[in-house]
Amino acid sequence: MHRSAPSISRFTLRSLLLAVLAMGAVVLASNVLVQYPINDWLTWGAFSYPVAFLVSNLVNLRFGVHAARRVAWCGFALAVLLSVWVATPRIALASCTAFISAQLLDIAVFDRLRAGNWWRAPAVATLCSATLDTTIFWSIAFAGSALPWVSWALGDLGVKLAMGVFLLAPFRALAWRAISMRR
């Protein structure tokens, strides 16, 4: 069955810049916050990072899959610069690898499911991409260390999934606005 292409708005340089800056701010905050544990099963970074999926899902919805990929790759370049500046080399490598892998998966899953119920595409895309992001990030960043990284990874994933559900409300509100702006 062939899906019709979504009606998408023109992706301007201003839109690209705003989306990339939002993505960069999320990555910067997350790379700093992941270094501060709350307890033995959670760090503060788990609360900020799911906003990256919200950004890519909104760009995907309003401007389409190609624009979302462009934002992901530009965000990746910015993430590399910011991560090297604010994080240890190992966390920077883990963050950048996990970021681009998870963002590209999120974009692909969202695009494939966009025609369904409004909540299905962002919920399933976030579930898949948060799981991939968590697996890649924590296994590169902390494997082999004496830190309780496995329990941090599980706590991180739990919070990312909960935040994914929580962010459905802002997604719905912003998606409605994005759709009304296309008309």
**DSSP-based three-state secondary structure for 88:** coil
pLDDT at residue 167 in the model: 95
What torsion do the CA atoms of 87, 91, 49, 86 make, to the nearest 10 degrees? Answer: 10
Domain assignment present for 1? no
Output 41 or 21, whichever has higher pLDDT.
21
Domain assignment present for 6? no
Domain assignment present for 4? no
Lowest-confidence segment of 51-55, 72-76, 85-89 by average pLDDT: 85-89
Query: Smallest Cα–Cα separation from 95: which of 72, 79, 106, 108?
Result: 79
The total domain count for the chain is 1
Query: How high does pLDDT run on average in the chain?
Result: 87
Lowest-confidence segment of 2-11, 21-30, 36-45, 156-165 by average pLDDT: 2-11
Average pLDDT of the residues in 8-27: 83
**Distance between CA 162 and CA 160 in Å, rounded?**
5
Instruction: Provide the pairing of β-strand 37-39 with 42-43.
Output: antiparallel
Domain assignment present for 3? no
pLDDT at residue 157 in the model: 95
pLDDT at residue 161 in the model: 96
pTM of the model: 0.86
pLDDT tens across 135-183, in order? 999 999 988 999 888 998 999 999 999 999 999 999 999 987 665 555 5
Domain assignment present for 8? no
Domain assignment present for 161? yes
Domain assignment present for 7? no
Residue 37: its H or E element: strand 37-39
Range of the domain at 77: 13-182
Domain assignment present for 5? no
CATH number at residue 126: 1.10.1760
**Distance between CA 62 and CA 174 in Å, rounded?**
10
